[in-house]
Structure 1
Amino acid sequence: MKFDQPATRNPVDRMKVVGKPYDRIDGPLKTSGKAPYAYERYDVVPNQAYGVILGASIAKGRIRRLDTSAARAAPGVIAVVTHENAGTVNKAKAITAKLMAGPNIDHFDQAVAIVVAATFEQARAAAQLIAVDYDRAEGRFDLAKEKASAVKPKMDGPADTAVGSFDDAFAKAAVKLDQTYTTPNQSHSAMEPFATIASWEGGKLTVWTSNQMIAWARRDLSEVLGVEPANIRVVSSYVGGGFGSKLWIRSDAVMAALASRVAGRPVKVALARPQIANNTTHRPATIQRIRLGAGSDGKLTAISHETWSGDLPGGQPETAAMQTRLLYAGANRITSHRLATLDLPEGNAMRAPGEAPGLMALEIAMDELAESLKMDPVALRIANDTQVDPEKPSRAFSQRDFVGCLSIGAQRFGWDQRRATPGQVRDGRWLVGMGMASAFRGNLTMKSGARASIDGKGVVTISTDMTDIGTGSYTIIAQTAAELLGVPLEQVVVRLGDSDFPVSAGSGGQWGGNSSTAGVYAACMKLREAIARKAGLMAGDARFDEGKVISGSRSFTLAEVAGRQGITVEDSIEFGDLTKTYAQGTFGAHFAEVGVDSATGEVRVRRMSGAFAAGRILNPKTARSQVIGAMTMGLGAALMEESIVDTRFGYFVNHDLAEYHVPVHADVPKQDVFFMDEVDDKSSPMKAKGVGELGLCGSAAAIANAVYNACGVRVRDYPLTLDKIIRSLA
């Protein structure tokens, strides 16, 4: 099915099942411990051995000597695999260089060897017996020091944009702001660690792994191992969180596959929590310079957003200026991205890459501008709304109820009670303040397919390689099928996360829910046609309701039409050029109230609230769960999350959850989420958009702005730890 024209009225619009707050159908399995995660799959293949990865103890250099003799002689050891005996590994691919060391070392804790043993304890003990001598090379680990050497990167879309004459407009602006903001390196910290079971049968490989994008995993394993994709099966039925870190295969998958090939038996591997921070990916730190010029009425006349980040050679920048191209009106504007080479572990996608750190800076800048203008921050944002792409005015937004989010969000939060002058509200020793920020995340879609079948009992089965990373994919896919085929939700079976199924959009970029359900829509519409045809009905006239197909006075149960052999079809959704014709985005407004201890500078978030416009909400319960989780992640980004680099040795020091701080229950306040009543017919036949990352975009800045309103201390260097506050606290 091709989606290249705005959606018209279709069966989803009935909203009998779609749009209802159903509980997650995978919930009972997960809460009872019956959902099989990758490392727990004892049932899939017998004779599993255990693998433990040894990581590099330097950040840059070469392996001079690698002695595995003691490890090979250790009790229970089956094999020790290094670059010297791993067999066919495609070193030409950049992904290989990151996932397996030898002889070059690209970053600290890069996989040097894997020990395979009969038990985990034996493998772990033997791994410590491997002797590695290195020739250490000087590395680059400090973004601020390398900023001057940063270059214009290759990236999807232009690295720089320019419209109008920024310099002239900024020079003439009645009110100006020119500030630099920094965001730190951050770790994904998903609950489920990276884990894989790999098993070879002849020349065919099966991996049970924790991965967000099944088709990508199959492709990358094929390239690395030199095996045809048809001979690789990837299974990821349940994923315990990923946040982007599991978009691509990591060392657990590659090393498990290599180890299984050498050992001649299935091998299971999990990265220990302290390995994850340095062995996998992270959100890169940024330096962002923002210049804003406005008239006395608050209308922006000049906007500049320049951003710097770092990565390994051949890496990608953190695209922190992307939202600035679309969020606010302004005739004269420039954005730029620069990338420095750093020898730290790989920087890559983490929930809302680009917009999350970009709005952490931009939305403080807007708050500072509002103060200079003596203007309410909500009013400033409303004054700079636009219904067209500011860089391409001929391209209108498909739907943009940004002003509605600001207005309703402010009303629900009680924004009118805010005191504009900082430090005016006390609650005992606590200084209390309110802050707000805009939310924006681009609406992305990807081709997505599914297989739909119905059997002689009237049970509908949907099979697609889509993954559920805790987002509710099982549930919204089941709702989509139930709606289109007119059956109860309990009569739908959803099978996910297997490369034997049709290729889907996968989970990432906030595209998963909208794209995958659109793919299921395409398959179910094709199944409706097949059912109607078999029943001797005209597909265009047929209705599907209460387990029946109906046309005029004729009615058949789906079970009797399917018969003993059943009916199975496949189809996919392919998206055309509507994103070129229409700018597509999701919008929102965050509000936060905090308390700052007047003696210690400690910050406590008291409540958070947000209003969001993200197209049709397919399931309000699962969508709200995504947003409050993202808001909580924003709380962590604002106040505590930071991967601290030891610039002497080039690694993240706080590489476990004892020292890398994330919010716990006691940190999370009351959270209010409101979804605007919106459908977007330019987005997909579901008329939905993504929502999983929107709640993170801007939430940290709302907290930072509330801290300033509470105590008058403006911190432009995240996270807002108490040492940064107390030194300026009156």
Structure 2
Amino acid sequence: MKFDTPAGQNPTDRLAVIGQPHDRFEAKLKTTGTATYAYEHHDVVQNVAYGYILGAAIAKGRITSIDTRLADAAPGVLAVVTHRNAGPLGVGGFYVQRMLAAPEVDHYHQAVAVVVAETFEQARAASSLIRVDYARTTGRFVLAEQLDSAPVAPQMPFGGPTETHVGDFEPAFAAAEVKVDETYTVPDQAHAMMEPHATIARWDGDRVTCWTSIQQMNWGTRDLGLILGIPRENVRLISPFIGGGFGGKGTVQTDLVLAALAARVARRPVKIALQRPIMFNNTIHRPKTIQRIRLGASRDGKLTAVGHESWSGNLTGGRTEPTTLSTRALYAGPNRMTRVRLATLDLAEGNAMRAPGEAPGQMALEVAMDEMAEKLGMDPVEFRILNDTQVDPEDADRPFSSRPFVECLRTGAERFDWNERNARPGQVRDGHWLIGMGMAGAIRGAPIAKAGARVRLDRQGVVTVETDMTDIGTGSYTIVQQTAAEMMGVPLEKVVARLGDSSFPETPGSGGQQGAPSVTAGVYAACMKLREVIAQRLGFNAAEAEFIDSEVRSGNRSVPIIRAADDGDVLVEDSMEFGDLAKRFAIQTFGAHFAEVGVNAFTGEIRVRRMLAVCAAGRILNPKTARSQVIGGMTMGIGAALMEEMAVDKRFGFFVNHDLAGYEVPVHADIPHLDVHFVDEVDPVISPVKAKGVGELGLTGVAPAVANAVYNATGVRVRHYPITLDKFLDRLPAMT
């Protein structure tokens, strides 16, 4: 099925199931401990051995020798896999390079060996017996030292320019009546998901099956096939439940690759879970960025010049952090410039983390907007409204498919009692606490991609949907069930969703905020095909038939849908493909975040007192699960604002706080009641279901709203995240 014209009325508009606040399908499984995660498939994989990864003890250099003789002879050891016996690796390029030191070492804790033994304890003990000698070379670990040598990035992730120009920025900025020119830094951040990276791998001849924790099956089968040097169709990945990913499990990581390699060498199924202390340096993370924002405006508040330059670093061949994406789309301004530079750093790979680009980009842009509003003497909400646009700021002929940004701002201001804010910083006190309010706009792209599904109606009247879509805790099972139930006119309990198996029809998986709109469009396409077959079997005109209350109806005739399966199951498969609407329209999600904080005037302790997110993301498929996603994003944004930072040892090149004890994330005591409000909208341009993703919009804009609230409370502007007391304690206003 192809979607190339905006959607009209269709079965999803009934809203009998879609749009209703249903509980998550897998909630009971997770709360009772019966959901099976990657490391727990004990019943389907027998005779499993255990793998333990030994990470490199240097950040840059090469292995000069590996002596595994003591480990080979240790009790229970079946194999020790290194670059010497791993076998030929394929043409996966950068992905191959970073999986196993061979013998070059690219970053600290890069895998140098995998010990396979009968028990985990035996494998771990034997790993300590391996003698590795290195030739250390000088590494580059500090982004600030590489700025002058960093070239413009060769490409953006998923395409798009790394340097843009509209109008003539430099003279427009020089001539601007009011200017902001500041630099902001966002540190390296870790995904810190609850479930560690884990895989069980089993070979059957030249085919490998992996029970793993991965968000995107299509990338996983592609990349693992390339790395192992086998056809993609010889790779099967199974991932029914994922204990959090945030982009960190988007595609193959070392657990998956090395479990497959170890199983091939040991000739046994092998299970590997990355121990928590190795995850931070061995896998991917959000890379540090240094961002210069230049804004020019006329005295009346209209932006005349918008400039955003950003630097990030990565291993040779790695991707850049696309921080300028939101700046290119959020506000009007005739003269514009964005530029993304990429330095070479010898730290673990920087890659996608929830809302890559937009989240750290808005941590700079939305503080700069606050600074400009103050210079202009304008309310921050009204300043943003004044600079709204209904067309792409870089292409006036390309309108937004929908853009209720102003509605988000005005609704948020009203619901948050923004008019009670004192615009003069440091004036509101509650005992020893300085009280401040801040806000920020939010934007996140709304991508969508081809997605397929297989749908079956059986003799019990049960509709079963199969798709390789994954559920990383977002509620994918439930929205798939809702879509099928709505389309087929059956109760939700009559729909079974089977997800997370690469043998099912392909989707783009969970990532980039494209999972929900894509998979529901794929289910829509398959259900439309199923409706046609059922109507034909029951003697109806498919174009006129309605599917309601488990019946097919047309005119005065109705037949129970179950009758279509009297002679056997009805099985169809289809996918949704997309035309050029995404080129003709700018498709985004929008929001506004409001925060109130208290800052202790003596200790500098910051407490978030309340927050509100107002989100516009097309049709909200399930308000209950969507709200949960936004609250999760808000919590993550509080962490980014106030505590999250991977500290780099600048001498030896590794992240020092590489566990959940040293890497701080918010806990229950840090989070107050969080309020979420959804703007009532549909977007017929994105898909027949008219829904967009929302999970990453819940994060973008949160951290700068908190930062702006801290400034309003204290009068001290901190431009380097996280906002910790050492950066402002000595500048707090005196208590009298």
Aligned 8 A contact 2:279 2:658 in 1:
yes
Equivalent position amino acid for 1:621 in 2: K
> Which residue is 2:479 aligned to?
476
Runs of 4+ aligned residues of structure 1 deviating over 3 Å after TM superposition are none
Corresponding residue to 2:232 among 203, 206, 229: 229
Q: Distance in 1 between matches of 2:234 and 2:618?
A: 40
**Matching of residue 285 in structure 1 with residue 288 in structure 2:** yes
Q: How far is 1:90 from its partner?
A: 1.9
Match of 1:178 in 2: 181
**Who is 1:670 aligned against?**
673
- CA contact 2:58–2:136 (8 Å) conserved in 1: yes
Residue aligning to 2:119? 119
Structure 1 match to 2:412? 409
Where do residues 295-694 of structure 1 align in structure 2 (5 Å cutoff)? 295-694=298-697
> What is the CA–CA distance in structure 1 between the aligned matches of 2:478 and 2:263, rounded to whole Å?
35
Distance 1:131 1:556 in 2: 73
Q: Please tell me the residue identity of whatever aligns with 2:163.
A: D
Task: Describe the SS at the equivalent of 2:172.
Answer: helix
Hey, what does 1:109 align to over in structure 2? 109
* 1:199 partner letter: R
Quote how far apart the aligned CAs of 1:555 are: 1.7
- Contact (CA 8 Å) 2:215, 2:511: kept in 1 or not? yes
Tell me which amino acid in the other structure corresponds to 1:637.
A
TM-superposed CA distance for 1:175, in Å, is 0.7
In structure 2, what is the equivalent of residue 32 of structure 1?
Answer: 32
Report the CA distance between 1:92 and its aligned residue.
5.7
Deviation per residue, 1:682-703 (Å, 9 max, x gap): 0111101110100110100000
Superposition deviation, residue 106 in structure 1:
0.8
The answer to whether the 8 Å contact 1:98/1:106 transfers is yes
Give the aligned partner of residue 74 of structure 2.
74
Structure 2 counterpart of 1:198: 201
Kindly state the Cα deviation for residue 93 of structure 1 after the two structures are TM-superposed: 2.1
Contact 2:91 2:229 in 1 (8 A): no
User: 1:101 Cα deviation (Å)?
Assistant: 1.1
2:92, 2:223 within 8 Å by CA — same for their partners in 1? no
Contact 2:94 2:318 in 1 (8 A): no
User: C-alpha separation between the residues in 2 aligned to 1:687 and 1:498?
Assistant: 26
Structure-1 separation of matches of 2:676 and 2:372: 27
Matched with 1:9 is: 9
Residue of structure 2 equivalent to 1:135: 135
- 1:147 maps to which residue? 147
C-alpha distance in 2 between matches for 1:564 and 1:642: 61
In structure 1, distance between residues paired with 2:252 and 2:44: 20
Structure 1 range deviating more: 16-25 or 559-568: 559-568
CA distance in 1 between partners of 2:232 and 2:321 (Å): 31
Check conservation: 2:242, 2:472, Cα contact below 8 A: yes
- Normalized against structure 2, the TM-score is what? 0.99
The answer on whether the counterparts of 1:455 and 1:564 sit within 8 Å (CA) in structure 2 is no
Q: Once the two structures are superposed, what CA deviation does each residue of 1:33-66 show, in whole Å capped at 9, x if it has no partner?
A: 0000000111111101110000101111110010
Q: How has the CA–CA distance of structure 1 residues 91 and 549 changed in structure 2, closer, same or farther, with 3 Å as cutoff?
A: closer
What fraction of aligned residue pairs are identical, expressed as a percent? 63
Q: Which structure 1 segments of 5+ residues have no match?
A: none
Summarize the alignment of residues 247-266 of structure 1 with structure 2, pairs less than 5 Å apart.
247-266=250-269
* C-alpha distance after superposition, 1:449-486 (max 9, x if no partner): 00011001110000000000000000000000000000
Match of 1:48 in 2: 48
Deviations 1:291-350 (A, max 9, x none): 111111111011100010000001111111111111000001100100000010000000
- d(CA) in 2 for partners of 1:365, 1:86: 51
- Report if the CA contact (8 A) 1:482-1:488 is conserved: yes
Q: 2:92, 2:368 → 1: CA distance? A: 43
Q: Residue type matched to 2:606 in 1?
A: V
Rounded to whole Å, the distance in 2 between the matches of 1:140 and 1:65 is 24
1:240 aligns with 2:243: yes
Task: Look up the SS of the partner of 1:625 in the other structure.
Answer: helix
For the residues of structure 2 that align with 1:182 and 1:226, how far apart are their CA atoms? 40
Gaps of 5+ in 2: none
Cα deviation, residue 727, structure 1: 2.4
SS of aligned partner of 2:630: helix
- Asked whether 1:95 is paired with 2:95, we answer yes
Secondary structure, counterpart of 1:325 in structure 2: coil
**Per-residue deviation, 1:167:** 1.7
Aligned AA for 1:443?
A
8 Å Cα contact 2:217-2:508 kept in structure 1: no
Q: In 1, distance between residues paired with 2:202 and 2:143?
A: 41
What letter is aligned with 2:707? A
Cα distance per residue 1:584-608 (max 9 Å; x no partner): 1000000000000101111111011
CA distance in 1, matches of 2:718, 2:213: 38
169-178 or 350-359: bigger deviation: 169-178
Deviations 1:500-543 (A, max 9, x none): 10001200000001111110000001100010011111100101
* 2:374 aligned partner, one-letter code: E
Q: How far did 1:91 drift? A: 5.8
Aligned length: 730
Coordinate RMSD, CA, aligned: 0.8
3-state SS of paired residue (2:728) = helix
Q: Confirm whether residue 214 of structure 1 aligns to residue 217 of structure 2.
A: yes
SS in 2 for 1:230: helix
Cα distance in 1, alignment partners of residues 386 and 292 from structure 2: 23
- Asked if the contact 2:50–2:118 (Cα under 8 Å) also holds between the matched residues in 1, the reply is yes
Report the Cα distance in structure 1 between the residues aligned to 2:3 and 2:655, rounded to whole angstroms. Answer: 45
Residues in 1 aligned to 2:499 and 2:698: alpha-carbon distance in whole angstroms: 26
Work out whether residues 91 and 226 of structure 2, in 8 Å CA contact, stay in contact via their aligned partners in 1. Answer: no
- Amino acid in structure 2 at the alignment position of 1:640: M
Do the aligned residues in 2 keep the contact of 1:91 with 1:97 (CA within 8 Å)?
Answer: no
Q: Which amino acid aligns with 1:181?
A: Y
1:294 aligns to 2:300 (yes or no): no
Give me the whole-angstrom Cα distance separating, in 2, the residues matched to 1:488 and 1:318: 44
Task: Report the Cα distance in structure 1 between the residues aligned to 2:649 and 2:705, rounded to whole angstroms.
Answer: 30
- How far did residue 553 of structure 1 move? 2.2
TM-score by length of 1: 0.99
Q: Distance in 2 between matches of 1:430 and 1:35?
A: 44
